[in-house]
Chain A
Amino acid sequence: MIKKRCCSFFIAVFFVLISFGQTKLFPDIELRTNKATISARFFESENLLSPIESFSSRLEFATEFSAVLNDFLEHRVHLSAETYSHAEVLIEEFRDELKLLKLKNDINELSFNRKRMSDNISGRLALISRGTLSHPSDLDSITALPYVYLNYTPRDSNIALRLGIRSTSSRPGFMKIDEASCSWVFGKRGRIRFGRIYFILGHLGLIGDNNFDAFEGAVLEMFPFGTLGLNLIYARLSSTNYPYTGIFQDYDDYLATRISKELFKKNLEIGLNTLFSGIASEDALSLDLYWRYSKNRDFIAELAFYRPSKTTIVEGVDPYEAKYAFVAGADVINTKRANIFLQIGDVQRGFAPMATSLAYSAQNHLYFDQDTRGFDITFSYYPAKKIDTEMWQTRPERTGLVPQETIYEINIVGLWDGEWRKSANRYVFRHIRSLGRDIRLYIENNLWDREPSISWQYRGVYNETRLSVSYEL
């Protein structure tokens, strides 16, 4: 009878508790030992931890307990012997959970550090594969040229480091330092770079463009009077030292300047470029013009005069007679998805500055070469979204940047050097697309009818493909 009554009493109490819903009889989490439960209750009684019933998982409890421990550590809370012993019990009880929390913190810290690093470092890791397919076919070849470019710009700093290491087609297995330069940004639009650098004088670079190789020197770019720009380029081309010392006794320096003026809200820019000293004693002068003549159409032109070196006499070329070159280009059509850019050029025989954008075969940009005149038309198609590209932006070997958008491009070049010849024509196809979040693909296919020359004994169709896969940091 008593047993029955007791049972009824407990059942009644149980239902009362449930009906109130205020207190849980059993906690949701299980503690392995009674000692741990006692310790948890102790921390609860000391108002250091919430009641054990309020936690839905062991990990949740461990999170709060870990915070309490950290609080002890950071604020030097004086621990009594009793508190210490209870903490010890709970540390043992929640050993695995505390480890998990530690791991989580480590991952968070790692992500933070990685983000901090990625804020400072940018650049490109790329592999260019250059393959040729020719007639006769036994001269086919494929070369792989890896290169790495890194820009390091510390936070809150005006000084940045750029380092580029690459393999060149002349020595495929040899990684050389391409760029190693330090730059300092000052004022509103001022910058000085020094070290191994690339530069271009004006928009087209007929008398100053060293795309074929980096020079050792310095470039100053600034706008000292509002929209009046001043560029100064200095480079050391060769040096002769006293044997076994770093003391020099002979040199050949490169010095060029550009003065430009921006007008009509930067829609028009005119520039005067002067090459005071190129290789040996060559000099040159050019005028260039950039004009955004409608909302998204550009016109670019440069007229240049050049005198070859007086110390290196070339047969049939008067070193005191100036040679001219003229190149102009404009967006003929520029729609949302397509663009046609037409260039014309006329380059006199003997116009061959050492650093120039002419002569694509010598790793430069423009297909026009000395003693040629003709046209260069590029049709670009953007299947997804049109972007406003700058000059040569679709040629990553120049800018070091590959656009994210997909682009198809056909480029036809026809040159006349007294007669129209098939070998002077170029048929180029370019394709750019994104292969992943930061991975870009670039393909350039060049096709032409190659004529025999001193270095090339054969005649036939020559096809050269460049394929580049790059990872942008």
Chain B
Amino acid sequence: MRKKILFLVLILALCFVTNKVCADYIDLPTLDVLSYFAQKSGHTKKFNKLVDAAPSRLEWAGFLNEVVWIIEEKNMLLNETEDEKLRTLVKYFDRELLLMNLSDKLEEKPVFNMEAEYSLNSDYLWGEGVRTSVLSLYNELRLIFSARKKSTAGYLSLRNFGYWGVNEYSSGSLGINFKTSDPPFIEQLFFETGEVYKLILGRRYMKMGTWGLAVNWLYEPIDIAEFAVTSNNFTGRVAAASRYENIDYYLASFGFGTEILQTEINGFYSAISSRILERLVGANNDIGGSLSFAFSPIKYVSFRSEAGVYKKTPSSLEVYPYVYAVDSDFRDFGFSFLYGYIPDIRFPTYPSVPYSATVNRPPLDFIDKNFIGTRFYPKTRGYDAIFRIKYAAPVFFEIEHSDINGLAVDIRFKRNTARGIYKSPGKSSPVDRIIIDITVVDYESDDIQQQEWQLRSQAAFRF
């Protein structure tokens, strides 16, 4: 019966669309544009084969679908012209893509995906206050498995990382809890079902709000059950999660938005039992929320802000953190300016304890401008500015400057970073990205004045 429906729908659709599109094959300018995106997504060989085979429009549409999927999956950056070209291309094949969509829905084929990511990282720190400098090397392995059938999907990510030469936990490796020989641990494991009404269960990374000033689990995953309702202009999310015991963390978020203006209000409430509170240092029944806005009045410029309220315990006084940002994104360069005021809150910092007077050092996985937890710190305020040159894409250059001051005590960080990024434009090569980052941190307080230099690099491969 299903087959019958499939054929009927396809033939019906054919009858409908053939009135408008009569050409059997695609025209040469379209072929050129398709060739460009095939190259970008690493599908040149397949493209050439298709050219030789001179297939139907539907097959070309299937190929375009693959290409677009890769571009979305790999978060490839497209400039304005490319974006326009891709939109035109998708529009050109809209009838075929509609047919494929109908076909996919009726076929109910599960899609399985497996990926492995391997990266080698280095870190070298020197300068005043650093006793001895040694190049530290570590590797990271991620194995990703996912399956999707219609609107139901499952995702599993296994991760292993470890510093070279840290063979036992106690051999001078205080605070490093993983060895390269440790078995991979479950980083993310979740299931989701539904489209408009979506249920997500499991361990995963998530945030609420623009940066997650109040709710941010981008640095460590959380075990969470979430129910979400999504429409064109509205998103509602309610969730319950486990931080220390069964269910001790409740969250909600409501967002409204158009292309120009988006706003979201969210909040959380902790309900940790007194038994845990007595036993665990740092565990508090905190409560908080935030309100965020994003406004894009013109094409290349957007404004973002997030302001929150936070209480460490139900009887504590409220504090009001906030972050403002201006972003501009032109074809050949981009600019971001963030200003933050972060009082003593449970701030989503990368989970490591800073050794020296300078700031914590997250891996290069967190260099994107949306990771505020690696740029601001509790009990500080200041700004962070990033200038990005995209002229030589897929090689990008970034300059970043931070100026952060202590709120209660007289401390001051000045951080300058120069960064080179190669981001593979497609799947043609297993080399996914190469990043080189050099950072200079000036630290000043009443007692100390010092400067540290840090050179970091990352080479990541995807298979």
Judge whether B59 is part of the interface by a CB distance below 8 angstroms: yes
Judge whether A176 is part of the interface by a CB distance below 8 angstroms: yes
> Which residues of chain A (83-111) have a CB below 8 Å from chain B?
84, 87-88, 91-92, 95, 98-99, 102
Judge whether B434 is part of the interface by a CB distance below 8 angstroms: no
Q: Shortest Cβ distance from A267 into chain B, in angstroms? A: 37
| Contact A252 to B165, CB < 8 A, known contacts A196-B180, A245-B354, A247-B125 | yes
- Among the listed A73, A95, A244, A251, which residue makes an inter-chain contact with B134, where contact means beta carbons less than 8 Å apart? A251
| Contact A239 to B183, CB < 8 A, known contacts A73-B99, A247-B361 | no
Q: How far is the CA of A237 from the CA of B171 in the complex (A)?
A: 11
Q: Are B352 and A245 touching (Cβ within 8 A)? A: yes
- Among B11, B21, B45, which residue has the most Cβ atoms of chain A within 10 A? B11
Residue numbers in B under 8 Å from A157 (CB-CB):
429-430
Q: How far is the CA of A217 from the CA of B99 in the complex (A)?
A: 52
Q: Are B17 and A76 touching (Cβ within 8 A)? A: yes
Residue numbers in A under 8 Å from B11 (CB-CB):
69, 72-73, 79, 84, 87-88
Q: Per-residue CB proximity of B112-153 to A under 8 Å, as 1/0?
A: 000010101001010000111111111101000000000000
Q: How many B residues touch A, CB cutoff 8 Å?
A: 67
Q: Shortest Cβ distance from B45 into chain A, in angstroms? A: 7
Q: Are A182 and B120 touching (Cβ within 8 A)? A: yes
| Contact A177 to B180, CB < 8 A, known contacts A244-B355, A249-B134 | yes
Q: Are A76 and B361 touching (Cβ within 8 A)? A: no
Q: How far is the CA of A216 from the CA of B165 in the complex (A)?
A: 7
Q: Which B residue sits closest to A78, measured CB to CB? A: B18
Q: Are B120 and A73 touching (Cβ within 8 A)? A: no
Q: Shortest Cβ distance from B364 into chain A, in angstroms? A: 12
Q: Are B99 and A239 touching (Cβ within 8 A)? A: no
Q: Are B132 and A177 touching (Cβ within 8 A)? A: no
Q: Which B residue sits closest to A96, measured CB to CB? A: B3
Chain B's interface: helix, strand, loop or mixed, by majority?
loop
| Contact A180 to B139, CB < 8 A, known contacts A91-B7, A247-B125 | yes
Q: Which A residue sits closest to B175, measured CB to CB? A: A244
> Which residues of chain B (70-128) have a CB below 8 Å from chain A?
99, 116, 118, 120, 123, 125
Interface residues on A, range: 35 or more
Judge whether A439 is part of the interface by a CB distance below 8 angstroms: no
Residue numbers in A under 8 Å from B352 (CB-CB):
244-246
Q: How far is the CA of A165 from the CA of B183 in the complex (A)?
A: 8
Residue numbers in A under 8 Å from B136 (CB-CB):
239, 241, 246-248
Q: Are B180 and A180 touching (Cβ within 8 A)? A: yes
Q: Are A250 and B172 touching (Cβ within 8 A)? A: yes
Judge whether B174 is part of the interface by a CB distance below 8 angstroms: yes
Q: Are A159 and B461 touching (Cβ within 8 A)? A: yes
Q: Which B residue sits closest to A109, measured CB to CB? A: B109
Q: How far is the CA of A246 from the CA of B139 in the complex (A)?
A: 12
Judge whether A456 is part of the interface by a CB distance below 8 angstroms: no
Q: How far is the CA of A74 from the CA of B429 in the complex (A)?
A: 32
Q: How far is the CA of A299 from the CA of B17 in the complex (A)?
A: 76
Residue numbers in B under 8 Å from A49 (CB-CB):
none
Q: Are A250 and B134 touching (Cβ within 8 A)? A: yes
Judge whether B184 is part of the interface by a CB distance below 8 angstroms: yes
Residue numbers in A under 8 Å from B273 (CB-CB):
none
Judge whether B10 is part of the interface by a CB distance below 8 angstroms: yes
Q: Are B58 and A195 touching (Cβ within 8 A)? A: no
Q: Shortest Cβ distance from A148 into chain B, in angstroms? A: 11
Q: Are B118 and A161 touching (Cβ within 8 A)? A: yes
Q: Per-residue CB proximity of B142-185 to A under 8 Å, as 1/0?
A: 00000000000000000010111111000111111000111110
Q: Per-residue CB proximity of A240-279 to B under 8 Å, as 1/0?
A: 1111111111111100000000000000000000000000
Q: Are A244 and B353 touching (Cβ within 8 A)? A: yes
Q: Which B residue sits closest to A87, measured CB to CB? A: B11
Residue numbers in A under 8 Å from B19 (CB-CB):
78
- Among B45, B55, B173, which residue has the most Cβ atoms of chain A within 10 A? B173
Q: Are B120 and A194 touching (Cβ within 8 A)? A: yes
Judge whether A236 is part of the interface by a CB distance below 8 angstroms: yes
Residue numbers in B under 8 Å from A159 (CB-CB):
429-431, 461
Residue numbers in B under 8 Å from A338 (CB-CB):
none
Q: Are A177 and B120 touching (Cβ within 8 A)? A: no
Residue numbers in A under 8 Å from B160 (CB-CB):
177, 180
Judge whether A315 is part of the interface by a CB distance below 8 angstroms: no
Q: How far is the CA of A159 from the CA of B461 in the complex (A)?
A: 9
Q: Which A residue sits closest to B57, measured CB to CB? A: A76
Residue numbers in A under 8 Å from B55 (CB-CB):
74
Residue numbers in B under 8 Å from A250 (CB-CB):
132, 134, 172
Q: Which A residue sits closest to B7, measured CB to CB? A: A91
Q: Are B180 and A216 touching (Cβ within 8 A)? A: yes
Judge whether A178 is part of the interface by a CB distance below 8 angstroms: yes
Q: Are A236 and B164 touching (Cβ within 8 A)? A: yes
Q: How far is the CA of A252 from the CA of B364 in the complex (A)?
A: 25
| Contact A174 to B14, CB < 8 A, known contacts A74-B59, A249-B134 | no
Q: Are A239 and B461 touching (Cβ within 8 A)? A: no
| Contact A239 to B165, CB < 8 A, known contacts A249-B132, A249-B134 | yes
Residue numbers in A under 8 Å from B139 (CB-CB):
180, 194-196, 216
Q: How far is the CA of A69 from the CA of B9 in the complex (A)?
A: 12
- Among B10, B58, B138, B164, which residue has the most Cβ atoms of chain A within 10 A? B164
Q: Are B58 and A196 touching (Cβ within 8 A)? A: no
- Among the listed A69, A75, A244, A248, which residue makes an inter-chain contact with B135, where contact means beta carbons less than 8 Å apart? A248
Residue numbers in A under 8 Å from B132 (CB-CB):
249-250
Q: Are A243 and B174 touching (Cβ within 8 A)? A: yes
Q: Shortest Cβ distance from B394 into chain A, in angstroms? A: 17
| Contact A251 to B116, CB < 8 A, known contacts A73-B14, A102-B3, A154-B430 | no
Judge whether B463 is part of the interface by a CB distance below 8 angstroms: yes
Judge whether A428 is part of the interface by a CB distance below 8 angstroms: no
Residue numbers in B under 8 Å from A161 (CB-CB):
116, 118, 430, 461, 463
Residue numbers in B under 8 Å from A165 (CB-CB):
183
> Which residues of chain A (46-88) have a CB below 8 Å from chain B?
69, 72-79, 84, 87-88
Judge whether A410 is part of the interface by a CB distance below 8 angstroms: no
Q: How far is the CA of A176 from the CA of B162 in the complex (A)?
A: 13
Q: Shortest Cβ distance from B128 into chain A, in angstroms? A: 14
Q: Which B residue sits closest to A99, measured CB to CB? A: B3
Judge whether B367 is part of the interface by a CB distance below 8 angstroms: no
Residue numbers in A under 8 Å from B125 (CB-CB):
247
Q: How far is the CA of A178 from the CA of B160 in the complex (A)?
A: 12
Residue numbers in A under 8 Å from B408 (CB-CB):
none
Residue numbers in B under 8 Å from A182 (CB-CB):
118, 120, 461
Judge whether B8 is part of the interface by a CB distance below 8 angstroms: yes
Which residues of A come within 8 Å of B, CB atoms?
69, 72-79, 84, 87-88, 91-92, 95, 98-99, 102, 152, 154, 156-157, 159, 161, 163, 165, 174-178, 180, 182, 194-196, 214, 216-217, 235-253
Closest 3 CB pairs of A and B: A240-B172, A244-B175, A239-B165
Which residues of B come within 8 Å of A, CB atoms?
1, 3-4, 7-8, 10-11, 14-15, 17-19, 21-22, 24, 45, 55-59, 99, 116, 118, 120, 123, 125, 130-139, 141, 160, 162-167, 171-176, 180-184, 352-356, 361, 429-431, 461, 463
- Ordered by A's residue number, 20 sampled pairs between the chains whose C-beta atoms are within 8 Å are A73-B10, A73-B14, A73-B58, A76-B14, A76-B18, A99-B3, A152-B463, A161-B430, A165-B183, A182-B118, A216-B139, A216-B164, A216-B180, A237-B167, A238-B166, A239-B136, A239-B165, A241-B173, A244-B352, A245-B355
